[in-house]
Each structure stands twice: as C-alpha cells, then as structure tokens.
C-alpha cells in the first residue's frame, strides 16, 4: 500500500514510521519546511525512545520519505491519513477542527486517484460526516471514502503500542474503506492478540474519547482516595494494590500523584464535555474529573508550601517537569501549576528534567534550570519529585540530604519509602500516606 501521512507531529511521525516498518510505502507531509529539512537530516521533532532509529532504518530501506509538498505526498496514494493537531479552542473547550478541515479539503483537491481518507487525529463525534461533505464539495468527481482510525499511543511507549496494540479501531461506512484498512493493518491482524475492531465511523470517534475519559477518571479517583488515606492513616499504595488485583478493576492508572496532564487527557475530556452538551447529554462524572484534576495540581503546590512552613525566600528543587517520563511534552504538566504556586508564595525554583527543559523554558519564567538533581538540591530548602523519571528512582538520598539546606523530600510520585528517606537523614512527605503508616 502507498500511504500519505499528513502531519509529522507525535501521532503522524510515529504512525508513518511504523506503517513503513510494516512494509508499506509511506510519505509524511508537513507544511513546516524546517521540520522536513530536520527529518531529512535524521533530527526528530519530538523525543520518543527508539523513533530516530526506526525512522533511519526505513528511510534507508526506501519505504519512508518526507516532503512539504502535499501534491507530491498524496500522488498515487491508496490511503491518506490526517494526523494534524486538534487543540482545545480558546474560550469554550471545543476541539479546534480547522486544521483537520483544511487538510481534508487540500487532500481532496490534490488526489490523483480514488482513495480512502482516514482521520487519525482525535476528533469529536460527527467530524467524519463533515469531512465527507468537505471532500465531496472539493472533488465531486473523485471517489474519496472517509474513515476514522483513532490512535491509542502512550508517549514514551508509542512504538511498542503501535506494533503490539490492545486493539485497532477502524470506523468505516463502506466495504471499500474496510478492505483498505484491513490490508494496511494486516500485519497486526495476523497476531490474534491484537484485534482489529471495525465499527461505524461515529462509534470509532467516540471510542477514543470514552477511553481517555475513563483513564482520566481512574487517575482522579485514586488521587482522591489518596487524600482520604492521608486523613485516615491508610496507605494509598496498598489500597491501589488491593483494588487493582481485582480483574474487574485492573492495576493500571491507579498510581496516586499530582494529577494528569499531557497532550490528550486534558483536551479530550474537555472536548467530550462539549460534545455531551451539544447533544444535551450531560456527563457529570467527566465534568467532576476535570474540575478535581485542575484543583489537584495547585493543591500539590500548596502541599509543598505547607511542608516548608513558609516558602517565602526559600529555594525549592523540582525534579521532573514533563507530565510523564520518557517524553519532552510539557503540555498541561502538573509541574507548571506547582511551580507557579510556589513562585506565588515567594519561593525560588531550581529544576531539572532529562528531556523537558527546552519546552519548559517556553512555559515557565524565573526558573533556574540545572543539569542534574544534585546540583538542583545544593542549598535547597526542599526537594520535590514531580515526574518519576528513571534517573530519579535511584538517587543517593544521603547525598541529597547533605546537599540541602533543609533535608525535606516531598515525593509526589511515591518513588521512595519513609524508611529509606529517614535512614538517609531526610524528612519525607509522600502522597496518600497517613501519619499512622508514615
């Protein structure tokens, strides 16, 4: 199959590289000539483990190429995937579909043969209907079938997720689209543990939002349970294990922390709420999840300030800035709200992160960025673990204690234990650990 991938962001680049690794001929298209030039040099626009090697091997094999010319990219394509951004629209939380609509119209005008146009971007229910209208008006004499194929990639594990998915969801309205997508995903369908699920188009669009909203709900639920644990003397990690071993619940996404962030959960929950409002079907649980999560991020800043007694004039070392490990993504990261609150309290911030500093500089001001956690801890009044990077999982706690002006470790990811911290000479505060078990 010849595939054109519109957009070389996170979803487009990972998907394009993996499709080419399946043996398809893939052209990735992006209007940003700087991105294309960088990709030709082997420079990735995002950090994702293993992506640079995957791209390089498939470029060398002649299966993967890049261009800024959409006409060149879609020439002879059997399928065109739209993988452009759908950010939250300012003011109302609706998904901004302008990039999707513009891409659909341009693709329809440039296609030189009948093809399947697949929306891979996360879009609200009914978007496929509008895309179908757009392409019909733009190319009335061309047979362009519109399908939906939402992605379920975790940043930091995207290649593995693509090649060994829990499922592949394809929303189609005719046999032609089904046949083309079945051929594209045939390497996965041969693996019976990775089912390819065919649904109607609107169902596929809703599956993506429902999945992310449910995962966000699990995170928010255990975070509230963590607060109750602190108040009652229980241990949230043991609670999580106790309920997670129930197969009906499962252990994933039951790790208490400072709240969810990233490129998906925040915008997708907001977009789902807007869709529910549009169809006069309120989703009160999802609405509560959004509100609780927004509150929690600032609450974590207050937790650190309270542990310090008075943050004014003091220095806080923040370890981890990205919303999760193994990515450079700072979008809606809890660290932003935490740092801003501590700055509002009069504290000075030192921070380090293995990959996120460049992006953090665009979002945070008056922060001293350090190369390693020990430099950040030197003379600090508190050390705060915000993101559970592997680099912060085996710190020399005695060295941290000696470096700080005040031996306080606030662990917002429960990486360490009270016993280990105490043995190293640190005062230790975690998430969901009541005094009775501290």
For 196-250, the three-class secondary structure string (H helix, E strand, C coil) is: EEEECHHHHHHHHHHHHHHHHHHHHHHHHHHHHHHHHCCEHHHHHHHHHCCCCCC
CB 389 within 8 A of CB 351: no
For 343-369, the three-class secondary structure string (H helix, E strand, C coil) is: HHCCCEEEEECCCCHHHHHCCCCCEEE
Q: Which of 18, 170, 229, 264 is catalytic?
A: 264
Give yes or no: 28 in active site.
Answer: no
Q: What b/e sequence results for 171-193 when a residue is b if at least 16 CB atoms lie within 10 Å of its CB, and e otherwise?
A: bbbeeebbebbeebbeebeeeee
DSSP 264: S
Dihedral, CA of residue 277, residue 282, residue 283 and residue 289, to nearest 10: 80
Q: How many CB atoms are closer than 10 A to CB 221?
A: 17
Nearest-angstrom CA–CA distance, 122 and 109: 23
DSSP 437: G
Q: Residue 384 CA to chain centroid, in angstroms?
A: 22
Nearest-angstrom CA–CA distance, 260 and 221: 11
Dihedral-angle region of residue 417 (phi above 0 means left; psi in -120 to 50 means alpha; beta otherwise):
beta
Angle at 330 between CA 52 and CA 235, to 5 degrees: 110
Name the token pair of 392.
Answer: 């912060």
> Annotated active-site positions, please?
264
């Amino acid at each position: 199959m010849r595939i054109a991938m519109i957009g070389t962001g996170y979803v487009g680049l990972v998907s394009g590289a993996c499709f080419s690794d399946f043996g398809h001929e893939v052209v990735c298209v992006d209007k940003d000539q700087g991105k294309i030039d960088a990709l030709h040099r082997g420079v990735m626009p995002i950090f994702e483990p293993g992506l640079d090697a995957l791209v390089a091997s498939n470029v060398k094999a002649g299966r993967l190429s890049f261009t800024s010319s959409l006409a060149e990219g879609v020439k002879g394509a059997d399928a065109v995937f739209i993988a452009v951004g759908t950010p939250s629209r300012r003011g109302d939380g609706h998904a901004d579909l302008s990039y999707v609509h513009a891409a659909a119209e341009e693709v329809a005008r440039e296609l030189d043969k009948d093809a399947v146009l697949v929306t891979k971007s996360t879009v609200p229910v009914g978007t496929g209907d509008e895309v179908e209208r757009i392409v019909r008006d733009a190319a009335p004499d061309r047979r362009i079938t519109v399908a939906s194929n939402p992605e379920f990639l975790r940043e930091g594990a995207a290649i593995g997720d693509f090649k060994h998915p829990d499922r592949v969801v394809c929303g189609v309205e005719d046999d032609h689209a089904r046949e083309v997508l079945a051929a594209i995903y045939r390497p996965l369908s041969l693996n019976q543990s990775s089912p390819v699920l065919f649904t109607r188009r609107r169902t596929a669009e809703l599956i993506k939002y429902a999945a992310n909203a449910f995962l966000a709900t699990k995170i928010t639920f255990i975070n509230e349970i963590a607060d109750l644990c602190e108040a009652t003397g229980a241990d949230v990690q043991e609670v999580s294990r106790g309920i997670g071993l129930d197969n009906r619940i499962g252990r994933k996404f039951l790790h208490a922390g400072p709240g969810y962030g990233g490129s998906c959960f925040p915008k997708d929950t907001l977009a789902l709420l807007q869709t529910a409002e549009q169809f006069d079907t309120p989703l009160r649980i999802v609405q509560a999840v959004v509100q609780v999560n927004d509150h929690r991020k600032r609450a974590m800043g207050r937790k650190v300030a309270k542990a310090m007694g008075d943050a004014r004039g003091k220095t806080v070392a923040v370890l981890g800035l990205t919303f999760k490990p193994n990515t450079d993504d700072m979008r809606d990261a809890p660290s932003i709200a935490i740092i801003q609150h501590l700055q509002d309290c009069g504290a000075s911030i030192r921070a380090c992160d293995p990959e996120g500093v460049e992006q953090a500089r665009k979002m945070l001001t008056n922060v001293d960025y350090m190369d390693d956690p020990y430099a950040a801890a030197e003379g600090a009044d508190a050390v705060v673990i915000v993101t559970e990077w592997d680099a912060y999982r085996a710190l020399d706690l005695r060295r941290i204690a000696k470096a700080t002006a005040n031996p306080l470790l606030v662990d917002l990811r429960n990486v360490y234990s009270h016993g280990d911290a105490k043995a190293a000479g640190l005062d230790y505060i975690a998430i969901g650990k009541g005094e009775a078990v501290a």
